[in-house]
Each structure stands twice: as structure tokens, then as C-alpha cells.
Amino acid sequence: MRRAGRQSGTSVCGYRSDAVPLLGHSAVRIQRGLHDWDVTYAEARRLQEELAGRVKLRPLPAKIDLVAGADMALSVADGLFFAAVVVMSFPALEVVEEQVAQAPAQFPYIPGLLSFREGPAVLVAMEKLESRPDLVIFDGQGIAHPRRLGLAAHMGLWLGIPTVGCAKSRLVGEHEEPAEQKGARVPLTYGGGLVGSVLRTRSHVKPVYVSPGHLCDHEGACRMVLECCTRYRLPEPTRQADLLVGRVKRAFRRQAEVQRRG
């Protein structure tokens, strides 16, 4: 049964690692004491290098019942990030719950540091969930990142839930071209090591870049992305999150325009 997103004005402006849970009945508990979000560019890089050492790659649990997808959208005009999380049953891929959140875009756009820009809104949306997913797929990178800490890996440390990054484009690494049939994949390597896979989720369609985030391994990441893909290139949980966050952003802009016109 689908749970509609709760209407909440909760913002993550000033969100701290030691903040109390936003909702006492949340199914997802954000980790305490990981780091503060008010950091400089240099501090963010150092944090990534430190936190990457805490990421654990290991096989997924044998039983996966709920898979979530997370996606973000920026409203440049409003200086706001919108985040959407869609929880789906697995393997049926039916929507169980949807949650959204918004937060100020306080950290500048710097390639390789996007999780510091997008992460706070994602965490608020996650903490609204009444269903605890067994896995979260992010529209972004896992360890396929210059410092091995893309959005999925970073958020995995906060959430304590297995995470996977499934990106539409490459951030780092080298690879051969996978075969054209669905399910074909080749290694994505960077700095002499394996950081992900280039996976064909539909025959004769551009591949996606899959990398484990946290509490997941390469094999499990590719398997879950592939099994969550239906008729589309992208896994259904992140595809649904993308659709939801687009609707939320458009509704916000319409309301803002009505208010502007008075």
C-alpha cells in the first residue's frame, strides 16, 4: 500500500551531525557524529579522503524486500534543492512510499563534491520514511569517484543502509565498450583499481555507470540495478524518484510565480 509523502516544512538549513532525529517514528535513523555540513572546499576534500576509509564493500543481504530510489533537482531561481525518495517492493517494483524534502543550496557547485551540496536534502527525505529500505539506489556515483566517496557512498555512511550509485555518465575511470545486449558489462577502473561497472540495461541503448556505495559489493550492485530495470534504461526506483522530484519542483515554481504576481 502506497504511503503518500507527509507535508512538512522541515528544512536542513544548519543540519548538524549531532541533530536529533527530525521525526521520532522514522524507519531510517541518520547516523550521529559523522561530520558537520558547514565546511570549506578544502575541509570537504579532507573529509572525503577520511570517510572513504570507512566505506565497506560486502555482499548484499540474501533477502531484499524493499528498494528505494533517490534523486535531486535544483531550482536555480529559488536557490533550493529538492530531493525525492521512492520506496518500492522487490521484485514486484510497486510503489510503497514516497517522500520529498527541500533544502537551501548552500554549498557551491564543485565537481567531485556534489554530495556536500545535495546530501542534506536527501537525508531529510530519507528520515521521513516510514518504511526502511533494504537498499537505496542513487542517481549518482558510489565509489567511482576521485576520492572513492561519491553521493551513494557518502549517503550510505549516514544511513547505515546498503547503497548503490547508478549514474548516467562517467565521472572517473577507463573502460572498454560493453556488448550491445542487455546485461553486458565491463569493468570501470581508476587509479589501478576496480571502482565500478559499465552496465547495459537495455539492448542497443547507452549503458549506465554502476558502482557500490556502502555495504554492497560490485556484483550485488550490478545485479540489483539490472533487476530493477524494466522497460527503461534506468532502474525503476530512481526513475520514479526523478519523476516525483520533477513534479515537486514544477509545483513549487508555479506556486512561487502565483505569489510573485500577487
What pLDDT, on a 0 to 100 scale, did the predictor assign at position 202? 97
What pLDDT, on a 0 to 100 scale, did the predictor assign at position 255? 87
> Got the DSSP string for 112-128?
T-HHHHHHHHHHHHHHT
Q: What is the mean pLDDT of each run of 10 residues along the chain (262 residues)?
A: 41 34 69 91 97 98 97 92 97 98 93 95 96 97 98 98 97 97 98 97 98 98 97 97 96 85 77
The one-letter code for the residue type at 192 is G
What pLDDT, on a 0 to 100 scale, did the predictor assign at position 8? 36
What pLDDT, on a 0 to 100 scale, did the predictor assign at position 10? 34
What pLDDT, on a 0 to 100 scale, did the predictor assign at position 25? 65
Q: List the domain boundaries for the chain.
A: 41-261
User: In b/e form, how buried is each residue of 61-96, taking b as 16+ CB within 10 angstroms?
Assistant: eeebebbbbbbbbbbeeeebbbbbbbbbebeebebb
Query: Over 2-61, what HEC string results?
Result: CECCCCCCCCCCCCCCCCCCCCCCCCCCCCCCCCCCCCCHHHHHHHHHHHHCCCCCCCCC
249 SS3 class? helix
| CATH entry, 41-261, from 3.30.2170.10, 3.40.50.300, 3.30.420.40, 3.30.1370.60 | 3.30.2170.10
What pLDDT, on a 0 to 100 scale, did the predictor assign at position 210? 98
Beta-carbon contacts of 34 under 8 Å, excluding residues fewer than 6 positions away, are 17, 51, 157, 158
What pLDDT, on a 0 to 100 scale, did the predictor assign at position 77? 86
What pLDDT, on a 0 to 100 scale, did the predictor assign at position 23? 45
| Residue ranges with strand state E in the chain | 66-75, 80-89, 95-104, 135-138, 163-167, 185-190, 193-199, 208-214
The one-letter code for the residue type at 191 is G
**Cis amide leading into 237 (omega within 30):** no
